[in-house]
A and B are shown apart, each in its own frame.
Chain A
Amino acid sequence: MDRHNVNTKGYEYCSGCGICLLVCPLWRKTRSMPHTRKARARALQGGATIEDIAASIDACLLCGSCEPVCPEGIGIAAMNMEQRRKLNKLRTNYPSWYPEPSGMKTRIKDNVLHNSIILIAGEYPEEDIEVRSAVIELLGGNKKVSLAVDDGRDIAGLLEACLSVTQDRIDDFTRPLRHASTLIVSEGLLHDPLRKWLPGKKVMGTGEALLSSTYIRKALGPEDLYIIECRGYHSDYERLVKFYDRLRKETGCQTNLDLQRIAIPTGASSLQAKKDIEAAGCLEQARWIIKGRSMKRIVVEDIADREVFQRVADVPVIHVGQLSQG
């Protein structure tokens, strides 16, 4: 489903059913109704202003869990961002985890990449560069896959804070990608914008790209807990819910999907978590994901999730790119 065209309904359509709240990591963390998407919509319906609900808008991790479950088909993800954008216009004091509005990266001039598959690998820590290389190898090696030098992480940061990204910057980012047919993008927050900026290109996450190979899928089994990167998953939910369901049925692996088949987020990739992983509630979320499960290994799609699970689980935690290594 193309969200940009379909989900144009706003908060005024909210019926207050509260299903969005059940999947919200903030609800789990705070147990406080005003922090939920439902409460924001109801408050606005009742005449509250954007500033009145600022704390709740700021706390949202933009994990996108709420949108696929909304029975009214409200474009919640876009609405969350729009409200943060509006709030930004009304204030000068941003939350401490915001990127500097003026902190636009020096422009990276990447060459146009000629492979049909491009990996936009995102933020791999120094010690994990090998993991990134393993991903490239698994995808077919350098001959088949180009690695984008410009990974757009500054753009992702600005999108998350809902600060404006200049057209020049978007052009710089997308120009090298224009010959590709498939973009493999680790940062889920970039999936939807890339679909909009480069229509016709196939945009997918690292996990989906790797797991499309039978060889890699075979390395997964019932004793694995597989952690789906939630932002990308929720941005293309109708398609990916089926993909991961097939994966689960084929391999028997467990996943971080809840009973509504929403990916429970840790929030580890959020700007809040980059500032303070504990305050962002990531560890608590990870504890909830593993609670009551028996597994021998945790496999994460998002490299940022690795640290979180390493801190709360006593089993090995690997990136999906390391699957073939055993």
Chain B
Amino acid sequence: MHIPVFERGIIPPDPVAPDSLKGIPRQKTNPSRWQGDNWQDFVQDLRSRGVTVCESRADCSVFMTDAGGVAYGLSHGVVRPNSAEDISKVLKAAQTHRVPVTTRGGGLTTEGESVAFGGLLLDMSSMNRVLEINTDAMTVRTQAGIFWHQLAEILRRDKLDYLSAPLNLTASVGGTLGVGGIDVNSPRLGCSADQAVALQVVTPTGNIVNCSEQENPELMERVLFGYGQFGVITEATLKIRKFTPITIQYYYYSSLRTAIEDLQFIAREDASDYSGILTILDRAITLLVAFDSDDREREFNARWKHNLRGHGEAGFGLRMAWHYLLHPWRIREAAYIIGRRFKLFPEFWRSEFMHNGKIVDRTVVFSRAVWKFWGGPQMVIPDLSSKAEKFAEAVERGNAVCRKYFRHYTLYCVGIKLRGKLPRYEMSCIPPDASDIAYGCEFEPMLRGTNYSRDYLQSFKNEIYDIGVDMGLSYYRFGGMMKGYIRRAMGNELVDKHLAMKKAADPAMILNAEVIF
């Protein structure tokens, strides 16, 4: 629904549909601003310990919103730490003075989870050095504020690469480990968080602790997928691999369900190194399948390709032409598909990113396209994640909601390989009933050039999250569902268990406390 502009002095009819926010008591999704009690003492305390706190408007407003551009908040001050010790001092003082601290990596959340509504903002991007590349163990140890793309630039000098990371270049390692991190190779390699071998964490009470699956494993399990609740990640040791350019094949579908079934078939069979679905419209669906090596592609072509029901571009084009000949009143839809195809696809084939028919730097190619075609000052990306059996229904229901709200939107579906039943998956983006491979879908309306109200966008998100509650799913990036949905989605018992753990770890509830609880 578009909100008309009315002149001053005229009170228009309420543009919010009566059934928006259906099923949910209207509650504020963003917290009110913390009032600043003890702020000056806190700052004094930090300064006396040699920590610089920047309080100017210019410093604070850099972080006033996140990639979502929906939630706005100003911190009272910003600290750009140089070390874990700096962070330790901050958190110790914050416990004493009860000042809220919000950790910020790349700030690519979409619901204000990395926005400080008062209090102190910890800008982790200053901690962005790679500390050690170990080619025997095939790991890299890095400060956690580093952006994935910076890490890629450094690893590439040694012809190495990270395993999986979000497709957006400026997500930070720490922020991503905190939320999960999904890539188009996640059906094979799992979440970014599962690539972490060891971490250095500053706990909410200011202790600097190393953890891994052997050392302090409970902390490791709490911090990964933990949305910054149980500590600030200052260093991460991650698995790495040899860099390889990739080849991509595209298959086109006019049925969502068929495309999803084929995506799941590929993931189940481990038939490709990368796979994902991207829609232009729900009758123009692309299944992307990609390979790290010629051998893998040859094997795919020989063993699995014939099972896929998608078409090549020419075949699909002919079918679409036939479809729109029979449905001429939908010609605008056809024009949209063609226009989108001609704008978007050349981005994937830019010659400077290709070598001998392979894409070099896939993350750059995909991320550029993501920002160019889906990015913008406002982004609303609710998502659902489910076990394999429920996924097609969840996507179809979510698609129906998208259709109801927006003319143009994209669905992005991908598999997520799990490493068994790990405690870290509890109350995270990983659905509790999933085993082996979970699936996630982002529902992304194209907002550029549109003018929707916050309520309208919130109603849309609520309807997507309602599907999750109804079907017992999870939310693969969690975005925005937390405060409003956390109990309905995860159940009181689980939420209370985590709340108790949080209170034990963070007695003054100062670290990222507003995000979930």
Using CB atoms and an 8 Å cutoff, list the residues of chain A in contact with chain B: 13-19, 21-22, 31-34, 38-39, 42-43, 45-48, 52-53, 69, 71-72, 241-242, 245, 249, 258-261, 291-293
Using known A-B contacts A21-B170, A53-B58, determine if residue A33 contacts B125 with beta carbons closer than 8 Å: yes
- Min CB gap A66→B, angstroms: 13
Contact in complex: B80, A32 (CB < 8 Å): yes
A-B contact pairs, 23 of them (CB 8 A): A15-B67, A15-B379, A16-B65, A17-B168, A17-B169, A18-B107, A18-B147, A19-B169, A22-B149, A31-B126, A32-B126, A39-B62, A43-B58, A46-B58, A47-B61, A48-B56, A71-B368, A241-B352, A245-B351, A245-B352, A259-B361, A259-B364, A260-B368
| Nearest chain A residue, comparing its CB with the CB of B127 | A31
- What residues of B have a CB within 8 angstroms of the CB of A16 in the complex? 65-67, 69, 107
Contact B156 A22 (CB under 8 A): no
> Which residues does chain B contribute within 8 Å of A21, judged by CB atoms?
170
Q: Is the CB of B62 within 8 A of A33?
A: yes
Interface 9-residue window, one of B218-226, B286-294, B369-377: B369-377
Q: Which residues of B contact A71 (CB under 8 A)?
A: 368, 371-372, 375
Q: Which residues of A contact B45 (CB under 8 A)?
A: none
In the complex, chain A residues whose CB is within 8 Å of the CB of B67: 15-17
List chain B residues, Cβ under 8 A from A260: 361, 364, 368
In the assembled complex, B102 has its CB within 8 A of some CB on chain A: no
Return the CB mask of B57-85 against A: 1 if under 8 Å, else 0.
11111111111010000100000100000
| Closest CB in chain B relative to A72 CB, distance in Å | 8
Q: With A19-B169, A33-B123 given, is the CB distance from A261 to B353 under 8 Å?
A: yes
How many contacting A-B pairs (Cβ < 8 A)? 110
Query: Complex: how many Å from CA A242 to CA B152?
Result: 23
| B244 in the interface (beta carbon within 8 A) | no
Taking a contact as CB atoms closer than 8 A, the residue among B54, B60, B126, B371 that contacts A17 in the complex is B371
Given contacts A19-B368, A72-B375, A292-B157, 14 further A-B contacts (CB under 8 A): A14-B377, A15-B379, A16-B66, A18-B169, A22-B147, A22-B153, A31-B126, A32-B126, A46-B57, A46-B62, A46-B64, A71-B375, A245-B351, A291-B157
Minimal Cβ-Cβ distance residue in B for A15: B377
Q: Residue of A at shortest CB range from B128? A: A31
With both beta carbons as reference points, the residue of chain B lying nearest to A21 in the complex is identified as B170
**List of A residues within 8 angstroms of B123 by Cβ:** 33
Per-residue interface assignment for chain B, residues 144 to 187, with 1 indicating a CB less than 8 Å from any chain A CB and 0 otherwise:
00010110110011100000000011100000000000000000
Smallest CB separation, A276 vs chain B (Å) = 24
Are the CB atoms of A45 and B61 closer together than 8 Å?
yes
Q: Kindly list the 6 A-B residue pairs having the minimum CB-CB distance in the complex, ordered from nearest.
A: A46-B61, A292-B157, A71-B371, A48-B58, A18-B170, A52-B58
Question: Does any Cβ of A come within 8 Å of B106's Cβ?
Answer: yes
Q: Decide: A48 and B57 in contact? CB cutoff 8 A.
A: yes
B158 neighbours in A (Cβ, 8 Å):
292
- From residue A22, how far is it (CB to closest CB) to chain B in Å? 5
List residues of chain A with CB within 8 A of the CB of B376: 15, 72
CA distance A72 to B128 in the complex (A): 26
Hey, what's the 0/1 contact readout for B119-145 against A, CB within 8 Å counting as 1?
000010110100000000000000000
Residues A261 and B61 in contact in the complex (CB < 8 Å), given A17-B375, A18-B170, A71-B372: no
- Across-interface contacts of B367 in A (CB, < 8 A): 19
- Docked Cα-Cα span, A232 to B150, in Å, equals 24
Closest to A246 in B: B351
Contacts of B69 in A (CB 8 A): 15-16
Cα-based distance from A233 to B66 in the complex (angstroms): 32
How distant is the Cα of A71 from the Cα of B65 in the complex, in angstroms? 18
- Which of B61, B64, B150, B355 interacts with A22 by CB under 8 Å? B150
Enumerate chain B residues within 8 angstroms of A69, measured Cβ to Cβ: 368
- Closest CB-CB distance, A229 to chain B, in whole Å? 18
A72→B364 CA distance, assembly (Å):
16
Q: Provide the residues of chain A in CB contact with B74, threshold 8 Å.
A: 46
B78 to chain A, nearest CB (A): 9
Question: For the complex, what is the distance from the CA of A42 to the CA of B377, rounded to whole Å?
Answer: 11
B62–A52 contact, CB under 8 A?
no
- Which of chain B's residues have a CB closer than 8 A to the CB of A39? 62
- Closest residue of chain A to B146 (Cβ to Cβ) is A31
Candidates A34, A245, A291; contact of B62 at CB < 8 Å: A34
Instruction: Give Cα A17–Cα B58 distance, bound, in whole angstroms.
Output: 18
Chain B contacts for A259, CB-based, 8 A: 149, 152-153, 156, 361, 364
How distant is the Cα of A16 from the Cα of B169 in the complex, in angstroms? 12
